[in-house]
Amino acid sequence: MQLLSAQQMQQWDAWTIKNEPVSSIDLMERAALACVAFLEENNLLNSSIKIFCGKGNNGGDGLAMARIFIEKGLHPKIYIVEMGSMGSDDFQVNLQRLHQLSTNIHFLQSKEYFPEIDKNDLVIDALLGLGLDRPLQGIYKDLVQFINQSQSIVVSIDLPTGMYCDKSSLENTILKANYTLTFQSFKLCFLMAENAPFMGRVSIMNIGLLPAFLDGIHSDYQLISEQWVKTFYKRRADFAHKGSCGHSLIIAGSPGKMGAAVLCTKACLRTGVGLVSVKTPRREIPIVQISIPEAMCLMEDEIQFEKFQSAGIGPGLGLENEALNILKSLLSSSLSKYVLDADALNLVSTHPELLNSISDQAVITPHPKEFDRLFGTSKNDFERLEKALALSKKYAFIIILKGHHTCIAHQGKGYINLSGNSGMATGGMGDVLTGMITSFLAQGYDSLAASLLGVYLHGLAGDIGLYHQSIESLLPSDLIENIGPSFMQWHFTHME
């Protein structure tokens, strides 16, 4: 599913109105009905509802919801921001309809007119929605600040008022919603950590926009869906053997940080590679051999990289000269499929000339701070994401910008992941991801397919982990144990 801009969403509305065909007022009715149904299904309705409306189509949605509430026997109070101009056509139609059912309609000309909001009120934010392109000012800013001071449940329609759809809103006054009911698809703003305090629980309201519109549209961003990722999966051949399933090299670990090496290696094995060898400090080898009897350890100082189909380097590696020398040896070797993570990226950030030595088939997996150390600081999440896409045009290797919604940047396009949960905010989760992607690379997947499969399955294993663990108790080792169930959830079993 492509992730559309605010302008493209508006074009999708217009295209559906023309080609279904359906009137714009009837499309607005669908939106209002969907929102009211959500509130009913989630037991959010009560006898005290306050709806705040602007005079655009977002406000029209709010007025249509008010009428539906009244038809259900509820008595909402409606507050319309009065700026001295006429509303949109559909707003005006819904206002006329509402006047026939209610006299509880109030116009807000200044903050002196703001109503008291009780903590038991249900507040509906239908002020501005999707089309905002400048910070709130005047009465809108005052009203949002006023609502934010209340302790009531707030439901925003499409977007919380004050939030931009396609760019950072960090300096804006933004309404703090408990729920955001957005139409038809995710918006880019909902995938940014900086907006988390304002959007609450985001739910998609299907209002029947015609999917054929998407065939002729281009977006720089695409959501990673399970159905799409499955198309990259290659079933293991019946006569496969360890030699035909790839040989990965894990270069990881240092005194006090051997857990990272163990996690990365276990994850690599669990993801299906035939053989794994580990390069770690000689005195730490017993930890690997006791923890992971399936893995082999390299005893020699010189690594013959040509023996392997992939490598993963960085987890717990340290920043000593020995680590730097191994990294330089890998980058100058004939092995082209590898993952750079953690300390390998920190070494590159202090030796930026190494960026130009990274293979076209490589994958780097920075979290935001590592990304900023590599490529310069970013003012906000949007700028960092845009920078990742721009860099993916300059460099052929894959950039995986890790986060709650990890983005895979490749050739100027961003693939954003929705699997996973906040229980994965624990040290070691990235080591597991590195092992998984390294495994896929060794099994013959290209770097993009390996990244898509690795990132999605990593999140899915985290989600399955919550069947037995809580958000607070989920550990990286739980993810490793759930890599198998993640494959099984896809029904990719031997007997299928």
User: Does one domain contain both 207 and 232?
Assistant: no
Judge whether 495 lies within some domain. no
Q: What is the number of domains present in the chain?
A: 2
Domain end (from 217, 240, 266): 217
With 0-12 CB in 10 A as exposed, 13-18 as middle and 19+ as buried, what is 99? Answer: exposed
The reported pTM is: 0.94
| 183/124 same-domain check | yes
Residues 212 and 234 in one domain: no
pLDDT band at residue 489, thresholds of 50, 70 and 90? confident
Q: Going by DSSP bridges, is the β-strand pair 179-183/153-157 parallel, antiparallel, or unpaired?
A: parallel
Could you tell me the CATH number of the domain that includes residue 371?
Answer: 3.40.1190.20
| Residue 490: per-residue pLDDT | 79
Q: What is the pLDDT of residues 435-471, one digit of tens each?
A: 999 999 999 999 999 999 999 999 999 999 999 999 9
CA-derived radius of gyration, the chain = 26
What is the structure's pLDDT at 491? Answer: 60
Residue where a domain terminates, one of 217, 243, 261:
217
Check residue 495 and give its pLDDT: 40
Range of the domain at 168: 6-217
The CATH number for 201's domain is 3.40.50.10260
**Per-residue pLDDT band at 492 (split at 50, 70, 90):** very low
In whole angstroms, give the CA distance from residue 459 to residue 113.
48
Average pLDDT over residues 213-219: 93
Give the mean pLDDT of the chain: 96
pLDDT per position as a tens digit, 286-344: 999 999 999 999 999 899 999 999 999 999 999 999 999 999 999 999 999 999 999 99
* 197 and 259 together in one domain: no
Percentage of the chain exceeding pLDDT 90: 95
Burial 131-163 (b: 16+ CB within 10 A, else e): bbeeebeebbbbbbebbeebebbbbbbbbbbbb
Same domain for 234 and 86, yes or no, is no
Residues 164 and 307 in one domain: no
Residues 163-211 have pLDDT tens digits of 999 999 999 999 999 999 999 999 999 999 999 999 999 999 999 999 9
Question: Residues 365-409: pLDDT tens digits?
Answer: 999 999 999 999 999 999 999 999 999 999 999 999 999 999 999
Burial class (CB in 10 A: 0-12, 13-18, 19+), 104: middle
